[in-house]
A and B are shown apart, each in its own frame.
Chain A
């Protein structure tokens, strides 16, 4: 034991001595790990780190199975996980999931693409031009205050319930966080580096490629992740309200049939897909962050 506590002690001190990493230089993960190791109880029952995220879902799943097996709730209200799994496999087999997921992902890709590109362009415009900000800034903030989903009733009247409706709603949902992230990113380009670029009289093109974009990249990725999350939420709601295919539609369809297992399959797919999308973006973000991380020293 004395050995153990000594080891903890040095780790702790090392943790204090190290300067806190910049939020975007990709060292968060290391620090998080160190902290967790400190608080892990010594003794039996240690899980390898990669399994930790599955502990709680596993426990929930087990208690869910136990509750349904004991018959506390009717199957229409809370179907057992085994049934949900069977439905999942059946739907996987007949292509139901693949078809609907593909439709949903296509909508996300379209909405995210349009929203992110236009949001970036508009955000950059607001950042670069004081005049544009004066004319358009207040309008944008009012526009942003109405949630994407609040537009559905009006847009249904104009666009019907076709693809256009979903694309417009999703684009709007992505546009707003992207504009805000772009504007923030632009304003956070370090003045020190802007001055260095000024005295070197960089051409607009070089300035954009070598200063503006690289400096904005970490925050832009934050905006992209936020946009993707917004797109996902909005997509499911639109599909539940006005659609004939897609994962959201599949869930509504299951509910009208009183087949909650179908709804749950839908939820699981949404959850996993959303998680994977975010994980992918985070991975890219970390890669970029590590490349761009400035050394955390006195000469920063």
Chain B
């Protein structure tokens, strides 16, 4: 279960990143001196109060923002400047194209992959079925509930089988049963596809259940407060003592 170091460069390296925003002449640091390295095939969760810069950090990795200081490296390539190949993101909101069906939306993520049409169709079908939307493949986003739309967005991020997967509270809008199921599915995909996952969540249990390490952030300015190794063998049991003890200490870190 230990991640295999398939190449010397880390999957993602965030080095002393600072990001400021200016709102009406007032400048504040949304992120200040944030450093974090993700090994290949590692799952890292980010926990932290609202507004501490979790989404901003993901947007920097996705190449949607540029840092004011420091740099980010995916697979040791030159610093991230714009969206990278092999990296997908599930946004906090679903961001489906309203004029495309679920299939159309998921298919869009394969635009930059060279796949034979038949394989492409099969992939789209498979990932839509995976998130439990099989019978809604030809529905439009306006016909979906919030949680269904979010699942479609997850399928869209997974379908290209990226090497680095960024997820911003992907299961936040789902009921607990479905959430547990999709967490399981995510771990299955992770085991099959050797994908590195950076996941933002508000759910401490989810963080412990999924991740190798949990990053706890603090606001004003957004900084990393602690990085906690989970170190429990998978599959993890939410009721076991070590799990509960870890949950307690993480909650303490958060308050």
Contacts and interface: CB of A to CB of B under 8 A. Distances in A.
- Whether chains A and B associate is yes
Interface residues of A, number: 24
Interface string B94-131: 11011110001000110110000000000000000000
A199 B89 CA distance: 7
Contacts of B62: 199
Contact of A198 (B64, B97, B109): B64
A292 B140 CA distance: 9
Nearest to A199: B83
Contact of B83 (A201, A210, A214, A297): A201
A298 interface: yes
Interface stretch (A118-126, A189-197, A230-238): A189-197
Nearest to B64: A195
Interface string A188-218: 0000110110111111001000110011000
A274 interface: no
Interface in B41-78: 62-64
A201 B111 contact: yes
B222 interface: no
Given A292-B99, A295-B143, A192 B93 contact: yes
Contacts of A292: 98-99
Main secondary structure of the interface of A (DSSP, over half): helix
Contacts of A300: 93
A229 interface: no
A293 to B, nearest CB: 6
22 contacts: A192-B93, A193-B95, A193-B97, A195-B95, A196-B97, A199-B87, A199-B89, A200-B83, A200-B108, A200-B112, A201-B111, A203-B111, A206-B111, A211-B97, A291-B140, A292-B99, A294-B98, A294-B141, A295-B98, A298-B146, A299-B93, A300-B93
Interface of A: 192-193, 195-196, 198-203, 206, 210-211, 214-215, 291-295, 297-300
Given A196-B91, A196-B97, A210-B104, 18 more contacts: A193-B95, A198-B83, A199-B83, A200-B83, A200-B109, A200-B112, A200-B160, A201-B83, A201-B112, A202-B112, A210-B97, A214-B97, A291-B99, A295-B98, A295-B142, A299-B146, A299-B149, A299-B173
